[in-house]
Chains A and B, each alone.
Chain A
Amino acid sequence: MSSAYHFRNERSNVHIPDAYLSPATEAVATLVMVPMWVVASRKTACELTSKQAPLLSIGAAFCFAIQMFNIPAIGGTTAHALGAVLLAILVGPWAAMLGMTLTLAIQALLFGDGGILSLGANCFDMALVAPFAGYAVYSLIAGKSSNLTPRRLFAAGLGAYAGAVCASLSAGVLLGVQPSIAHDAIGHALYCPFGLHVTVPAMVLSHLLVAGPAEAIITVATLGYLWKTFPEFSRESATVRVGTKMRLAGKLAWVLALTPIGLWATGTAFGEWELSELKQMVGYEPAGIANAHSVILPLLPDYSFAGLSGKPWEILGYLVSALIGCCVIALFTRRILGRGTSSSFDLLKPGIPSSAVPNWMTLPNPPVATSALQRTRWFESTLLKMRTAIEKTFAAEEVARKPGFLQSIHPMAKSVGFASAIVATGLAQSEQFLAFLIASVLVAAAGSQVPLRSFIERVVGSVLFFGLIVAAPISMKSVTSGPVAFSILGLDISTSGLHCASMILLRLAAGISLAMLWNLTTRWHEMLRSLKTLGVPQFFLATAALTYRYLFVFIETLAEMVEARTSRQVGACSKVQARQFAGNGGAILFAKSLAFTDEMHLAMQSRSVDVSSKKPKFTAWKPRDFGAALTGILCLVVIALLGHIHAF
């Protein structure tokens, strides 16, 4: 498999792709987010000074970059941080919300990652829930303690942990309600087929044990380093008190106690609600949901308490997971504080070189201890793969510059056309229509000089990754009832199950290929301009433009850091080293880029670049632009008609 899949796979643990949520859920989530974005823009525009505005862009770009640091977690898995709570602590939760929204928007629009229709839902989880929940926990525990105290750092770690877990809970709930709200007449799920019993434990437990601690480690390491080296970030004077005991047991216990209570509450609410109350509310129970649980629960690796049924065991499971997560954070905070605080060097006056070459430099190196050689190489290979993937993704801008068919279409027309077609994909319930749509996308891609092979490879890779985990169980007879089509490995595959699975895979393929073709054939600044005409506020777009610029800086810096490390890395690096590199790397990346911002901001000013004064200049639409827009709208109309026919 090429590195592109790897790249995508690693960073999609909370990102919900298109075709997993019903269009109604996506619409509701977006509607909830719109007033939030308005408030956040106003608040941020008031609170941030003009010099801090680049900080927001940097923050967004940083969140983007930090999601590329893989941290080895338990059981050979890796996890990455979101950076949402870190950003909230640095610039405040409202600004963090905008920063995360920018990150997610760029991922969706530019990198085809995470889904375009589901952007609202993803923002709800990661731009609203994560920073606010995390920041609340952080301020609660930190109180009025000064920066760099164990208490404040621990509060940041716990806040990050809570933010990640809450975001995963919210994503789990959004996914889990799908079978209840979106299914066909005979009860077959149309979108995510798993109920809350499956999605919530799967998302929450994996975040309690893996992604949450990763988030906390990155956050604590970055903040610890930033507060130490950039005292201007500190609100109070920074004092390093290393030996102080953490007297937080009381508050910690309080927060821990909240975890199971919250989950117990959701447990009763959703557990009963889903199958009995919902049945009364909706009038019938979707078939297959109950069956799905019995089949899928044992398949989920993280659901370690599947064998022990009953509420007390479940709560204990969450409690133990949370406890393990908190211990990791506490240990890590101690390590961060204990490191490099005492100097064993005699600090000499500057400029007194010892003129001679040290003696050992004239001798050959002693042989390396064998223990240093027996290490895994996964870290290096992950990072190098990531780099190749980034290079490939940035090659997209090259494609957008080619004189192809779609490149010549008016960006507004393209937005209308593609957006309609993607909505149509979400609503479609006909395999033929989706297959036809995919075929048309391929024809259009060929006509737009998009390298077809890598395009298909990327689509297929994403579909397999996102789709199989859902499509494979849904095709089984025990989940989706119906006549048996064939048996494989002793599992009966039903014809209606096969139909459901192929619908989900096709919808996924159509959605992903449409989104990918859209961002491959549209240049970023054109995308921004068409968003402006659609009424997206200028403040947001100006920050987005800056973010895009910083993204290149960050990725370049990141690539250079990896290369520099490779050059001096003897053998492979251990998991501990990898964790340290991820923690420190995040902080240093941020600090380096920060040192660079002022200069860049000034350079932009000196060339009188003011993004806000630019009015979008668009040429008039040509007939083929109308054609392109109409094609997308036509897709929608066809879907509406098909649905109409279907209904009768």
Chain B
Amino acid sequence: MLFEATNLEYRYTDGTPGLQGMSFAIQAGDRVAILGANGSGKSTLLRVLDGLIFPSSGLLTFRDKPVTELSLKASAFNQEFRQSVGFVFQNADAQLFNATVQEEVGFGPRQLGLSEAEVHGRVSDVLGFLGIQHLAERPPFRLSGGEKRKVAIASVLSMNPEVLIFDEPFLGLDPRSQSWLVRTLEQLQAAGKTTIVATHTLDTVPKIADKAFVLSESHELVCVDAVSAVLADKQLLMAANLIEAPTMAVVH
């Protein structure tokens, strides 16, 4: 089992809940979509899955090893976890902290201890794969929104993680870039990657996932089911405030 969560709870420092009693399992090769309204805890859940923040109670395991602040301090597990799990942040701007695109994309592989030649090879492969070779020398934060998203994705792909976590990847992309991203995700999934995508863009969900987690506004995991079943369940989607309830006028 890749990820297994039992009774995950997360509370912010001021005590407000972020996640409430979540239990689930994610297997290698799964294509998971995490659905929920704004503020339902999607980003928090992804941050927990990436070991950036840690649950206040409950247990998360990765390949049957607990993911805790302490376990990630151990070099061997830290190394295994960080190179196996890649996270594309919702705010692409926030993710970019290097001076140029090529340094940004090369940061991960350099961490893995690859030789400069290998790093260079990976960087140019990934930039080629995403079609952004021409940006190599540019500073990342002076790019357009779509370009920034591509660089953010490239910076994670160059580490070749087994699990790819995306937080709202379609946000702010034009329709052409959205379909480009869907195709890229499909290619990565075909290459054997496990993908976990948080989104509220429902129309893309059937193409990029076959398993859906639905989070309620009370930060609970209310449903884990096949995407087709979840999207057909209008009551559930309404309860999670993902679609609008029919107005009274229609009922009349």
A→B interface (CB under 8 Å): 225, 229, 340, 343-354, 356-358, 360-366, 368-369, 371-374, 377, 388, 391-392, 395, 398, 557, 560-561, 563-572, 581, 584-585, 587-588, 591-592, 595
Instruction: Label chain B's interface by main secondary structure.
Output: helix
A568-B107, A572-B75 known; A368-B112 Cβ under 8 A:
yes
A357-B188, A365-B112, A372-B111 known; A588-B99 Cβ under 8 A:
yes
A347-B136, A595-B142 known; A563-B128 Cβ under 8 A:
no
Interface string of B77-106 (1 = CB under 8 A from A): 011001100110101011111111011000
When the two chains form the complex, which single residue of B99, B137, B192 contacts A587, counting CB atoms closer than 8 Å?
B99
When the two chains form the complex, which single residue of A347, A368, A395, A584 contacts B79, counting CB atoms closer than 8 Å?
A368
* Contact residues in A for B155 (Cβ distance below 8 Å): 568
Interface residues on B, range: 35 or more
**Residue pair A343, B82 in contact (C-beta under 8 Å):** no
When the two chains form the complex, which single residue of A344, A346, A358 contacts B133, counting CB atoms closer than 8 Å?
A346
* Contact residues in A for B52 (Cβ distance below 8 Å): 563, 566-567
* Contact residues in B for A557 (Cβ distance below 8 Å): 94
Instruction: State whether the Cβ of B174 lies closer than 8 Å to any Cβ in chain A.
Output: no
A101 CA to B97 CA in the complex, in Å? 29
* Contact residues in A for B113 (Cβ distance below 8 Å): 368-369, 371-372
**Residue pair A588, B97 in contact (C-beta under 8 Å):** yes
A347 CA to B103 CA in the complex, in Å? 15
A581 CA to B110 CA in the complex, in Å? 14
When the two chains form the complex, which single residue of B50, B93, B99, B160 contacts A361, counting CB atoms closer than 8 Å?
B160
**Residue pair B187, A357 in contact (C-beta under 8 Å):** yes
**Residue pair A345, B112 in contact (C-beta under 8 Å):** no
**Residue pair A568, B99 in contact (C-beta under 8 Å):** no
Interface string of B154-186 (1 = CB under 8 A from A): 011101101000000000000000000000000
A560-B89, A569-B82 known; A361-B191 Cβ under 8 A:
yes
* Contact residues in B for A357 (Cβ distance below 8 Å): 129, 187-188, 190-191
**Residue pair A567, B87 in contact (C-beta under 8 Å):** yes
**Residue pair A391, B13 in contact (C-beta under 8 Å):** yes
* Contact residues in A for B250 (Cβ distance below 8 Å): none
**Chain A: CB-nearest residue to B115:** A369
When the two chains form the complex, which single residue of B50, B124, B133 contacts A567, counting CB atoms closer than 8 Å?
B50
* Contact residues in B for A364 (Cβ distance below 8 Å): 162
When the two chains form the complex, which single residue of A347, A349, A358, A365 contacts B126, counting CB atoms closer than 8 Å?
A358
**Chain A: CB-nearest residue to B128:** A354
Instruction: State whether the Cβ of B108 lies closer than 8 Å to any Cβ in chain A.
Output: yes
**Residue pair A353, B131 in contact (C-beta under 8 Å):** yes
* Contact residues in A for B126 (Cβ distance below 8 Å): 358
**Residue pair A591, B112 in contact (C-beta under 8 Å):** no
A398 CA to B16 CA in the complex, in Å? 13
A354-B129, A568-B107 known; A225-B99 Cβ under 8 A:
yes
A290 shortest CB reach to chain B, Å: 50
Offer 18 A-B interface pairs, CB within 8 angstroms, sorted by A. A345-B137, A346-B133, A347-B136, A347-B137, A352-B133, A357-B187, A365-B160, A371-B113, A372-B112, A377-B73, A557-B94, A560-B89, A563-B89, A563-B94, A568-B82, A571-B111, A591-B139, A591-B141
B6 shortest CB reach to chain A, Å: 24
B193 shortest CB reach to chain A, Å: 8
**Chain A: CB-nearest residue to B13:** A391
Instruction: State whether the Cβ of B64 lies closer than 8 Å to any Cβ in chain A.
Output: no
A99 CA to B72 CA in the complex, in Å? 40
**Residue pair B97, A565 in contact (C-beta under 8 Å):** yes
A356-B129, A570-B83, A595-B142 known; A348-B134 Cβ under 8 A:
yes
Interface string of B42-65 (1 = CB under 8 A from A): 000001001010000000000000
